[in-house]
Amino acid sequence: MSDGTVYVLGAGFTRAFVPQAPLLVDDYGIPDLRKRFDSFSHAAAILDDALAEYSGGYVDLERLMTRLSGMPYDAIDARREFALLESALRQSLVERLREAKKGKVDREKLKAFARLVCKDKASIVTFNYDDVLEEALWSDANAHQTLDPHAWNPDGGYGFYCRPSSVCVADSQMYMDETHSLVLKLHGSINWRSRLGEGTPRGPAGILHHEEWLSPRVQIRQPEYSRIESHLEPDPFIVPPVLVKAELTTHPVLSVVWRLAHERLNAAKTVVFIGYSLPETDLASRTLFREALRNQAGRNVQIVNMAHNEEDKVRVKESYRLLFGQDLPDANFDFAGASAWIERQP
């Protein structure tokens, strides 16, 4: 384990390298969903409210998902409609992530960041659902035919024994890799899947990793990707972005991930926030950072974010200084964005 550097990654990190990746306020196909749910009066009303806030079909995903999680006065029929809409919206989010990855991806910059992480044996705390960074970490290690037994691998690189999805249809001798770097995904991941019929809540043993970029290298006689898919639950394991994240304490696998995130943040000498605006509404993450980074003595906190104007800069500075203290100097803020920051790294 390295106690040197921890990178905290937000949606802006992925957006810097995958331009079509969705942000919190973005297009999630709500107009089409509105048509599908036209006969569901309660769900239709919620979608109308969400569409009225922004133009062009954009919605605030966190606010919409929070409303769908329910209010005390919701009737039973409304709750049923909201559950259907929440499932459809979750599928829309996953589809946006998958489609974005099919488009333009700056893989060279991602590999540069992956090499930086590996060189420093740093760990990553991320709120992102996508797996573009993990693909870069895996691809870079395999491109050099590394013999390092501690190179990043999804079997152990997520902080728990995350077995490959091939175990659904084939037996093989496997073990949990011990990697120098961990990718701690606080809200789950698009490539975290569960066996068909797996109950909730999810523990570490209930999560498998399933991705096309890894499957050809797992074993010599790898089952077909499509064949494995039929043995998995259709939805990835992700925690939707809601204000009150009850699911974070419901699933034991997330308890493992969050505990490791706290430990590594607490031990780090340098913490670099990249593409994360530290929203005031994300109370769980703010509590994590406040308590894990409580002792600032000798610790270097850096913030890398894309700011288009002075108003954006002021907002980000105020948010971080509210958490870490007003004496956080201007020199610790870099507003050129993740891509430019990576270019300047040795």
Spell out the domain ranges in the chain: 1-19+105-346, 25-102
Contact 22, 97 (CB under 8 A): yes
Whether the Cβ atoms of residue 71 and residue 40 lie closer than 8 Å to each other: no
Q: CA nearest 8: which of 324, 346, 330?
A: 324
Tell me the CATH class for 1-19+105-346.
alpha beta
CA distance 186 to 181: 15
Range from 59-63, 206-210, 235-239, 294-298 carrying the lowest mean pLDDT = 294-298
What is the pairing mode between strands 208-209 and 192-193? Answer: antiparallel
Give the DSSP letter string of 87-104: HHHHHHHHHHHHHHHHS-
pLDDT tens, residue by residue, 170-208: 777 676 777 889 999 999 999 999 999 988 899 999 999
pLDDT at 225 over 60: yes
DSSP string for residues in 178-203: --SS-EEETTB-TTEE-BTT--SS--
Buried b (16+ CB within 10 A) or exposed e, 4-18: ebbbbbbbbbbbbbb
Give the tens place of pLDDT for each residue, 269-290.
Answer: 999 999 998 887 788 899 999 9
Nearest to 17 by CA among 344, 338, 343, 346: 338
pLDDT band per the 50, 70, 90 thresholds, residue 112: very high
**What count of Cα atoms within 13 Å lies in the side-chain half-sphere of residue 22?**
23
222: phi then psi, degrees, rounded to nearest 5: -80, 130
Instruction: Give me the residue label for tokens 């946006």.
Output: 96
Here the tokens at position 219 are 């074993």
Tell me the whole-structure pTM to 2 decimals: 0.91
pLDDT digits (tens, 9 = 90+) for 250-269: 899 999 999 999 999 999 99
Q: What is the pLDDT of residue 280?
A: 77
* 3-state secondary structure (DSSP) of residue 209: strand
